[in-house]
Structure formats: C-alpha cells, structure tokens
C-alpha cells in the first residue's frame, strides 16, 4: 500500500438538480481538509402555522471537538500474532570500567609439575665449624678373653633372683578331715495385724526355720553361730502410721517409719548387716500409736535373717 495522497480543494457547490436515480455506490474517497466554519446566520421569524420543511442536506463536517474524558478500560483483546524477529542491532559503545571486585578465595593447590632437569653440581662449600661432642656410642663387640686374674674378696649377698619355672604336679595327698558347714537362717510371717507396741513382734507364721534359731512364741532370733548376719523385713502398712525398730542385744540399732492414715495401704522394706556373737538376740518392735503393721489373705508382713559368713 502506497503513501496517502494530498487532499484536493473542495469543489464549488452546484445548483440543486433534479433527483436522479440512485447510482452505483462509488469507492470511498479520501478525507478532505475540513472546511471553514461559516458565520452564524440570524434567527428567522417564527412561523406560527408553518409546515415542516424537507430535511436539509447534511452539513459539512465540523472541526474536531475537545478531547473527552478518558473512558473506562476496555476488555483485554485477543493475543496478537507473534511478530517477526527484528534484525540484530549494531554493537554498542564501550561501557565504563566497573568497580574493583572483592579478592577471590585462594585456589586449590595445583598438580605437581613435571620434574625439572637436574642442575649442575655446586662447588664444594667451606669447611664448617667443629660440632659439639656426640653422645656415647653403642657398646662394641666383646674382646678376646684375657688371662684369669687373682681371686677377689668375697662380695655381699646378691638380690633375690627371678622365680623359677613351675615344677611338675606332685602326688595326690591323703584325704583330710571333713569340716562341718555351719548354717543359720530363718523367715517368718505375721498372722495378725496391728501388733502390740514396745514388745517383740511375734512372727508366728514360719516360712523357714530348719536350725530353729528363731523362736516364734517370743519373736526373737537367738544367735548360735557367731558371724555376720543379714536381717531384712518387708511389712504391709495400712490404716495408721508405723514406726519399726530393729533391736539387737537389747538396743535399737536401726529405726524406720511409714506415715499413713485412713484406708491407704503401702509397703515398708529394710535390710542391714550385723555382726553377732553367740547368745545375741535380734527382734522387731513397733512404737505406741505407730503400730500400723498389717496382714490379710492378700497382704503379708515378713521378717528374715541368715548367716552371711
């Protein structure tokens, strides 16, 4: 399509002719220059009973009006076809030099280069200063044995030598006398709850008492074999507090208590080692108003002791 041509001057208005037949629609002409605005005519007299005249010819196009306010944003149009790639632009001018960058990290050590050519032997250096005296050298090989000297004076007794090798096993000895092994142990349970205070608790439900060192009628253990003994108890406590003392040789050697009230139930345990002589007695007892030691078909209270060695 060529460039737009120059608009021609408007033609002179012709006389109105008779209305001819409608001609064939011609091609759209080019837009002409806008005509000059005519002067406003004077207002004619008002006709009272005038008939409406025929519609006049369309006036010439007026000058373009003042720009209107911006309309609302229209809907997004369809995506247009991809345009052709333009030709590459020419090389731009050289840019200014940038600021200096920060120092980079140290690079990794490079691989070892090819071994260089061996250099020429250097000249012999000057004689160095005399060094310090070296350490004593190793003992040299033994020399030839010399002739026997005169007999010396008797020396002092030497230290004890290393132990000799283990000898062979000797013959089996004769059978010795059999020593009687000493034993002493007991374990007994309580049959009635809440024992009386300040007297030995009578654990009358025997669990073990082969040596009969424990007396269930008195609640006391009687030592028949002197040695170290282990004593322990496991007591059920219910309804009231309990203060338990382990008595040996009529002296309270260990004391413990369990604070309990109401219908609560708990267990109290204790273990110790005592050195006893033959004839010593050991038992358990509770204090006044602290005798909550309990027993039932489902709960036991047990006192135990045995010879350790």
pLDDT in tens, 99-117: 766 665 765 665 665 665 6
- pLDDT value at 143 more than 60: yes
pLDDT the model gives residue 174: 67
Confidence band of 162 (pLDDT split at 50, 70, 90): confident
- pLDDT value at 280 more than 80: yes
Domain 185-307 fold: Jelly Rolls (2.60.120)
- pLDDT tens sequence across 204-234: 999 999 999 999 999 999 999 999 999 999 9
- pLDDT tens sequence across 249-266: 999 999 999 987 777 899
- pLDDT tens sequence across 62-92: 677 677 677 677 677 676 566 565 566 567 6
CA distance 283 to 222: 9
pLDDT the model gives residue 100: 67
Look at residues 286, 236, 285 and name the one whose alpha carbon lies nearest to residue 260: 236
Q: Is 204 exposed, middle or buried (0-12, 13-18, 19+ CB in 10 A)?
A: middle
- pLDDT value at 177 more than 60: no
Q: Which parts of the chain are beta strand (E)? A: 185-189, 205-208, 214-215, 220-222, 227-248, 251-258, 265-276, 281-294, 302-307
This model's pTM is above 0.75: no
If you average pLDDT over every residue of the chain, what do you get?
79
């Amino acid at each position: 399509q060529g460039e737009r041509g120059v608009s021609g001057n408007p033609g002179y208005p012709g006389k109105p002719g008779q209305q001819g037949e409608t001609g064939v629609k011609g091609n759209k002409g080019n837009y002409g220059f806008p005509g000059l605005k005519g002067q406003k005519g004077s207002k004619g007299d008002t006709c009272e009973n005038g008939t409406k005249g025929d519609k006049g010819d369309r006036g010439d196009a007026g000058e373009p009006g003042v720009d209107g306010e911006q309309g609302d944003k229209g809907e997004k149009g369809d995506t247009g076809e991809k345009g052709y790639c333009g030709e590459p632009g020419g090389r731009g001018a050289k840019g200014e030099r940038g600021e200096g960058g920060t120092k980079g990290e140290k690079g990794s050590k490079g691989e070892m280069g090819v071994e260089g050519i061996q250099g020429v032997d250097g000249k012999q250096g000057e004689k160095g200063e005399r060094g310090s005296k070296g350490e004593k050298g190793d003992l040299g090989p033994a020399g030839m044995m010399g002739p026997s000297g005169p007999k010396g004076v008797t020396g002092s007794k030497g230290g004890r030598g290393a132990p000799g090798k283990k000898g062979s096993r000797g013959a089996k000895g004769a059978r010795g006398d059999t020593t009687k092994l000493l034993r002493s142990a007991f374990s007994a349970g309580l049959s009635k709850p809440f024992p009386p205070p300040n007297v030995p608790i009578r654990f009358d439900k025997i669990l073990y008492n082969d040596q009969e060192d424990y007396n269930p009628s008195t609640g006391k253990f009687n030592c028949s074999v002197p040695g170290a003994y282990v004593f322990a108890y496991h007591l059920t406590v219910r309804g009231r507090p309990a203060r338990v003392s382990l008595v040996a040789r009529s002296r309270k050697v260990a004391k413990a208590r369990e604070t309990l009230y109401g219908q609560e139930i708990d267990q109290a345990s204790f273990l110790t080692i005592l050195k006893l002589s033959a004839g010593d007695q050991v038992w358990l007892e509770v204090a006044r108003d602290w005798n909550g030691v309990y027993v039932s078909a489902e709960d036991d209270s047990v006192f135990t002791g045995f010879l350790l060695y």
